[in-house]
Amino acid sequence: MKKYRFAQYLLGAALLTAAVSPITVLADSKDIQVKVDNVSVQFPDAKPYIDPSTSRTMIPIRFVSEKLGASVEWDGANRTVTMTKEGKQISLKIGEKKAIVSGKQIAFDAAATLQNNRTFVPLRFVSEAYGAKVDWLATERLVLITTNLSDGTGTSGTTPVASQPGTTNPGSGNTSTSGIGSKVGVDGQFTVVDPSYPDLLLPKDPTTEPAVEAFLNSLKFENGVITGKIPQLPNGHVMALTYTDNKDKNLNQNLTKTKEGETFSITVSGNGGQINFAIFQGNVGKNGVFVYVPEMRVEWGAKR
């Protein structure tokens, strides 16, 4: 599994600030519901939410793990939570983007976090760690986790019906200008790569593809700074733009207020970071892209 991915910025899932961010609208709408094998998971004191800094859907792992039949233990001294099911042990530490599953390390794109005395993990963690299938019903804001699959596995993927906050990732099957392997940016500095999670993509949306292409083709990375230009958006659409530094939270930037046609500049630390560009129609994520520096890698946020 690739270590990095676009952030179901969903769109992915995180583009902070209350004032104008479309992500805020998503976060303020009705609660995200979760079902495990069609049984609702109750969250009495801590509910799933969309992390605005990573665009990922975060869930309280204890309640979901217990529904999956796992026992959960918390080690406060080491800030580590351990889940055990049928001899399979999973442990993860607060602040880390990895977990140890039966002695093997898996990586995910958002760090485990502690809020309201509950450990939250990215939704994708469930499928990676428990071998479950995760579906998103956007119109209902409902997450369906399935473990009793007919083929005996829990890894078959599905495509979200619409934007899934926190889980969308760029996909393959590009039919537009920039396919997998294409060089994009002013000097062709960036490479479009296969998606980290091809089964969790926004539906294809040709209306917004030109704007995403224009955004990418405006990017230039030089002397530790990325510059670019906000493209013209289709009528009735809005955009969100954020930069998340891999380590230094003081360098995170929310550029959502940047207007169409305006240029922007982002300073990237030596740790590198991720740019999330997302396009919305109303409250619904329609398209987007993840740009990783210094890897100079691009992943789409919707089927193409």
The pLDDT score that the predictor gives to residue 165 is 40
Q: Is residue 139's pLDDT more than 90?
A: no
Using CA atoms, how far apart are residues 105 and 96, in angstroms rounded to an integer? 12
Q: Is residue 151's pLDDT more than 90?
A: no
Using CA atoms, how far apart are residues 141 and 293, in angstroms rounded to an integer? 32
Average pLDDT over residues 256-269: 91
Neighbouring CB atoms inside 10 A of 156's CB total: 12
Q: Is residue 229's pLDDT more than 90?
A: yes
What's the predicted TM-score (pTM) here? 0.47
Q: Is residue 31's pLDDT more than 90?
A: no
Using CA atoms, how far apart are residues 63 and 78, in angstroms rounded to an integer? 21
The pLDDT score that the predictor gives to residue 219 is 93
Phi, psi of 25 (to 5 degrees): -60, -45
- Is residue 230 within 8 A of residue 215, CB to CB? The reply is yes
| pLDDT averaged over every residue in the chain | 76
- Is residue 273 within 8 A of residue 251, CB to CB? The reply is yes
Q: Tell me the residue length of the chain.
A: 304
Cα separations (Å) of 61 from 8, 65, 192, 279?
19, 6, 33, 30
The pLDDT score that the predictor gives to residue 178 is 60
Average pLDDT over residues 209-216: 91
DSSP 7: -
Q: Is residue 6's pLDDT more than 50?
A: no
Ranking 163-172, 174-183, 220-229 by mean pLDDT, the lowest is: 163-172
Q: Is residue 103's pLDDT more than 80?
A: yes
- Is residue 280 within 8 A of residue 237, CB to CB? The reply is yes
Neighbouring CB atoms inside 10 A of 238's CB total: 17
The pLDDT score that the predictor gives to residue 138 is 64
Phi, psi of 24 (to 5 degrees): -60, -40
Average pLDDT over residues 71-86: 89
Q: Is residue 163's pLDDT more than 80?
A: no
Residue type for position 201: L
Cα separations (Å) of 58 from 47, 110, 125, 218?
9, 9, 9, 32
The pLDDT score that the predictor gives to residue 18 is 29
Strand partners, 93: 80
- Is residue 13 within 8 A of residue 166, CB to CB? The reply is yes
Using CA atoms, how far apart are residues 70 and 224, in angstroms rounded to an integer? 45
